[in-house]
Structure 1
Amino acid sequence: MKTAVAARAALFAALSACVLTSAFGVALAQTPQPQPAAKPAAGGALSDNLPIPPAPAPKVSKSWILLDFATGQVLAGENADVRVEPASITKVMTSYVLAAELKAGKIKREDQVLMSENAWRTGGAGTDGSYSGFEVNKSAPLVEMEKGMVVQSGNDAAIALAEHTAGSEQAFAALMNAYAQRIGMKNSHFVNATGLSAEGHYSTAHDLALLGRALVRDFPEAYSYNSIKQFTVGPITQPNRNLLLWRDPSVDGIKTGHTSSAGYCLMASAKRGDQRLVSVVMGDTSENQRAVDSQALLNWGFRFYETHKLYDAGKAIAKQKVWKGQAEEVQLGVAQPLLVSMPRGKYAQLKPTMDVPKTLVAPIKKGQKVGTVKVALGGKVVATAPLVAIDGIEEAGFFGRLWDTFWMWWDSE
């Protein structure tokens, strides 16, 4: 009898030792850190020992910025958040509103838009500004009127489109401001659809770059109008004033602007390979100079920076212990692709880390945020994203939860 009792005690002790070893192995194991998933682009890399030269800053521009399209990261800029007159770059905001209202079904491409007497007198050929040439009190298809606004920078077309969409230009301006807030343009306010100088009508180089990025991302068809080099209305053919469309085949937009008080402005965008950049130059000295300055910024950005997708959405990049669940681990990933812009040749120096709670307890829903992944370069965080559960973890049964409760208590001591 004593022999049997002793045997059972020894067996229990052995099992307990195994469980203790397993439990402490889980509790003390270090959190696995994710690694970048993509490989650096071939060619164009800088020596790790060479610093990036300063961006070619426009000498007389009031403000300027260079933005990476994929990440929204600012690569260079000066006075980028100082309020300035946006001039006819305002029409990019008008284009965005039109595209959003078209998508919502509130207006249609085939709508006949009237060139009202107000639009004609305020922005037509009799004014000092740019005009499209549509005849007064006659209608044209919305898409044609929009091309007259985008390519020819027609103030008359912008006002006619605003009146058609919202009833009046003032009401349309309210839509512009609402959409601007959605985009994240925190330092902008619009009072007209044209960009003609007006009190309370302002933006910043940074906000305008965000706007250009949003138009490319959200409404590529509307954006494509910006690459049209010339447009004809009746007997009048006018060229697109963006000189970069003729000088650089990678440039496909976006918009010029000029008033006596705003100076010469240009929002440009180019795509080379898989990388797209957006530049904004405000208050330059001439039509040619704004093109020269914008070209220099784009060339510098493409030469010295590259963009990588580190992690795909919905794919596991790490795993973590889960207590009281039907599974012992949860797979972690990102809900949206994680992209990062960095100096060329620095890819191998990226340092991803994962920040998650020490204790994860089931149930965990699929897509639930459970932590953060951070990517640093040279000690500076260059990208962050929420870590989410790739799959859900259901609660364990009563005894499973009880058992884990004991070991969680033991681990906390």
Structure 2
Amino acid sequence: MKTAVWAACLLLLASALPPAADAARRPHRVARHAAHQPVQPAAAPQPLHVTIMDGDSGAILHCEDCNAPMPPASMSKLMTALIVGDALLQHRITLDTRYHVSENAWRHGAMSDGSHMFLELNSEVSIRDLIQGVIVVSANDACIVLAEGLAGSESAFVALMNRRAQELGLRSAHFTNATGLPDPNHVISSADLARLARYLVANHPELYRLYGERAFTYNGHTQENRNPLLGTVAGADGLKTGHTDDSGFGLVGSAVQNGHRRILVFNGLRSMADRREAGINLMRAAFEQYATQRIARRGQQLGEAQVYLGSRATAPLVAQNDIVVGGPQAVLAGLRTHVVYAGPLRAPIAQGQVVAQLVVEGPGLQTKRFPLVSGQRIGGANWFAKAWEGLRVTFSGAH
């Protein structure tokens, strides 16, 4: 059953057919209809693994199987670009650094059936051109050249990708190559792709501007950016498309409207036309139908917890981080919050120690829990207070 929000944001397509080339690669079963039965209109494209994220706070606004690992195809090139961006920030390379196009990169990139930027065997190419090739036209040959140049081999570069994914907390991610070419162990969830995209936007502005470029010319060949949001959705400025027979057509998209950023990820569509339709409608819905609500700021006190045998009787409970909840606008109007902890707390308690949770719930919203910490250090009670407490417990329990 499709969710109500999906039905609300997509229009029915009367006669959308996949391009002939795609149909040839991906044969599909055609239903047989009796002569007197009318053919029903084609359903609107239904993507898989949908994530809509608030790019400002990182709050997930909408999730459809968004935490399940999936084959990302070329969308995983976001991590390839991030590794290059890190090296630039660390001054290990510059945009003018040149890398050699090996036979391996040429044969498995430029001579492959996948996307490439027409690199020539044994040529020397600048990082500036290579990273544009990766970001704008999804060039596999550029990915391999960068991997070999930065790490010595693609396998060593993949180790850097996986290590970086762990550092960023992308728990679903496991990469086996720098290109996104099919491999059953090359996976990441759409939610983690959204987190990766958000990190790129915030920490690599010098590279992020390339994601909005509409075309790239190299070696006499001009290729267009395949991102269907660019030029069609107001404020769209990135990020990356992906497609293999295993993954279908997917998109990591981002746009800014009225000072607010939304990040969209989905996968599993059968054609570029379907990807365009779904991408435009979902991104528009992301701004029109979803919102965020700030519950508390980092360090804000939200309650107190009883303390047993402490230097004070209660511990102030404060938000460990900003607490922001996102979702459909109608759902946010009915939010409820309450504090839970296993009490009384036992001293000593360190300042910043997680001791409780703020529970946020409401009709139509999956219950969310956020850590609360002690706002100050609380030492143990002195011997007199402990003795007095012992006497109190003893006599209060006597009959």
Which TM-score applies when normalising by structure 1?
0.74
Whether 2:292 is the aligned partner of 1:307: answer yes
Q: What is the number of equivalent residue pairs in this alignment?
A: 361
- Match among 252, 267, 270 for residue 282 of structure 1: 267
- Which structure is higher in RCO with an 8 Å CA cutoff and minimum separation 6? 1
The answer to whether residue 299 in structure 2 is matched with residue 333 in structure 1 is: no
Larger radius of gyration: 1
Is the CA contact (8 Å cut-off) linking 1:339 and 1:383 kept in structure 2? no
Query: How do residues 9-408 of structure 1 correspond to structure 2 at under 5 angstroms?
Result: 54=7, 56=9, 59-60=44-45, 63-69=48-54, 70-73=57-60, 75-77=62-64, 81=68, 83-84=70-71, 86-102=72-88, 111-124=97-110, 126-183=111-168, 189-198=174-183, 200-216=185-201, 219-233=204-218, 235-259=220-244, 262-273=247-258, 275-378=260-363, 381-407=366-392
| Partner of residue 42, structure 1 | none
**Cα RMSD, aligned residues only:** 3.4
Q: Is the 8 A contact 1:321 1:330 kept in 2?
A: yes
Question: What runs of 5+ residues in structure 1 fail to find an aligned partner?
Answer: 1-50
Question: How far, CA to CA, are the matches of 1:275 and 1:102 in structure 2?
Answer: 28
Partner SS state of residue 278, structure 1? strand
Distance 1:366 1:78, change over 3 A: closer
Q: Do the aligned residues in 2 keep the contact of 1:243 with 1:288 (CA within 8 Å)? A: no
Q: TM-score, normalised by structure 2?
A: 0.76
Deviations 1:14-73 (A, max 9, x none): xxxxxxxxxxxxxxxxxxxxxxxxxxxxxxxxxxxxx86745468455624033243453
Q: 1:156 to 1:378 in 2, by over 3 A?
A: same
CA shift, 1:366, in A, is: 0.8
Please identify, of 336-345 and 138-147, the stretch whose mean Cα deviation from structure 2 is larger.
Answer: 138-147
Amino acid at match of 1:87: A
Task: Calculate percent identity across the aligned residue pairs.
Answer: 32
User: Mind listing any 5+ residue stretches in structure 2 that lack a counterpart?
Assistant: 11-42
SS of residue matched to 1:317: strand
Tell me if the contact between 1:315 and 1:390 (Cα under 8 Å) persists in the aligned partners.
Answer: no
Question: 1:122–1:156: 8 Å Cα contact kept in structure 2?
Answer: yes
Alpha-carbon distance in 2 for matches of 1:288, 1:234: 29
- Deviations 1:182-240 (CA, angstroms, capped at 9, x unpaired): 55555554332122345654555455444434434554544443122333435444332
Residues 184/397 of structure 1: CA separation in 2 closer, same or farther (3 Å cut) = closer
Once residues 199 and 363 of structure 1 are traced to their aligned partners in structure 2, the CA distance between those partners, rounded to angstroms, is 49
In structure 1, how many angstroms separate the alpha carbons of the residues matched to 2:136 and 2:348?
56
Deviations 1:265-296 (A, max 9, x none): 32212233464333233343433431221111
The equivalent of 1:31 in structure 2 is: none
Q: Distance in 2 between matches of 1:308 and 1:219?
A: 27
Q: 1:53 to 1:158 in 2, by over 3 A?
A: closer
Whole-Å separation in 2 of the counterparts to 1:175 and 1:345: 43
